[in-house]
Amino acid sequence: MTDLAAFGDAPFFLHAHPDDESISTGGTIAALIEAGAEVTVITGTRGERGEVVAGELEHLEGTDELAPHRMGELAAALDALGGPTHAFLGSAPARIPQAARRLYADSGMRWGADGFAEPATDAPVTALSLAPLADVVGDLLAAMLDDARRPAFSSIVSYDARGGYGHPDHVRMHDAGLEIARLTGRPFLAIVEPRIHDAPLPAGEELSVDLPPAALAAKTAAMAAHRSQLTVDPDAGTFTLSGGQTHPVAEVEHFRRVHPDRIVQFCIQEGSCTE
């Protein structure tokens, strides 16, 4: 069942790195824009510590050139999705007024024994995952409130409490989005990816967006724009990540609408959320 109305007319998508917006929510973004919604995407980092697909771009891995390259890929991907409003966290408008620009660094990660990501031991001091939650929330609110300090958005879309596959930057964006939902009373829609074992969440309203052909085509094109991170096979309807894992391009994107207070209580009880 597709219910775009749950997102409202001005949803904010909070993502951690370039390509997350396309893989997890690209079709929904495209469908919302086609329906007339004013969609905003905030990207937390530039993905500069991520792996690079083997081939002509692999020389970028670990270099200063990777961040600007991925910024260019992200711009092309967003254009393919219909051109949502975009900002990097720490840069205007997603920066506390009168404050100097802040660059939130990619925290990096390592794979744990359970198959989920864990924090890297060498995360830089400027890493998004290490930033005080109040700082991240403040920068996001700068973009999400109007001049009268009223919410200028209809809903928040971000990761579940575990950050999907567990990347610490995903978790930080989830935590910040959840806090903003609690402060403003706006809906929080957690991304549910069937290919990932989701962290347990309290019962909520399940939403599925069946992607119409145009939205699926836009999503596929957006994913293909992230050439340093993945390879798309449009004929097979699959994509392969830099680590060699191949997955289908999801034709249905899933979300769970949850109540912030219930999540906060659940996380306190289960110890599954970070401070």
Q: Are strands 85-88 and 40-43 parallel, antiparallel or unpaired?
A: parallel
Percent with pLDDT over 70 in the chain: 90
User: 235 φ, ψ to 5°?
Assistant: -70, -40
Q: How confident is the model at residue 148 (pLDDT cuts 50, 70, 90)?
A: confident
Peptide bond into 234 cis (omega under 30): no
Q: DSSP states of 172-232 as a string?
A: HHHHHHHHHHHHH---EEEEE-TTS-PPP----EEEEEE--HHHHHHHHHHHHH-TTTEEE
Q: How confident is the model at residue 274 (pLDDT cuts 50, 70, 90)?
A: very low
Contact 142, 149 (CB under 8 A): no
Tell me, what's the pLDDT at 106? 96
User: 13 φ, ψ to 5°?
Assistant: -100, 120
Neighbour tally for 122: CB within 10 Å? 10
- Give CA–CA dist 182/176, Å, rounded: 10
Is pLDDT above 80 for 272?
no
Tell me, what's the pLDDT at 119? 87
Is pLDDT above 70 for 10?
yes
Residues sharing a CB contact under 8 Å with residue 147, sequence separation 6 or more, in sequence order = none
The token pair that represents 26 in the structure block: 């690209």
Domains of the chain: 4-270 (3.40.50.10320)
Tell me, what's the pLDDT at 118? 86
Mean pLDDT over all residues of the chain?
A: 90
- Give CA–CA dist 274/198, Å, rounded: 16
Q: How confident is the model at residue 197 (pLDDT cuts 50, 70, 90)?
A: very low
Helix H or strand E segment including 136: helix 133-144
Tell me, what's the pLDDT at 268? 43
Q: How confident is the model at residue 202 (pLDDT cuts 50, 70, 90)?
A: very low
Is pLDDT above 90 for 204?
no
72-87 pLDDT, tens digit each: 999 999 999 999 999 9
More confident: 112 or 47 = 47
Is pLDDT above 80 for 71?
yes
- Give CA–CA dist 218/31, Å, rounded: 9
Tell me, what's the pLDDT at 94? 98
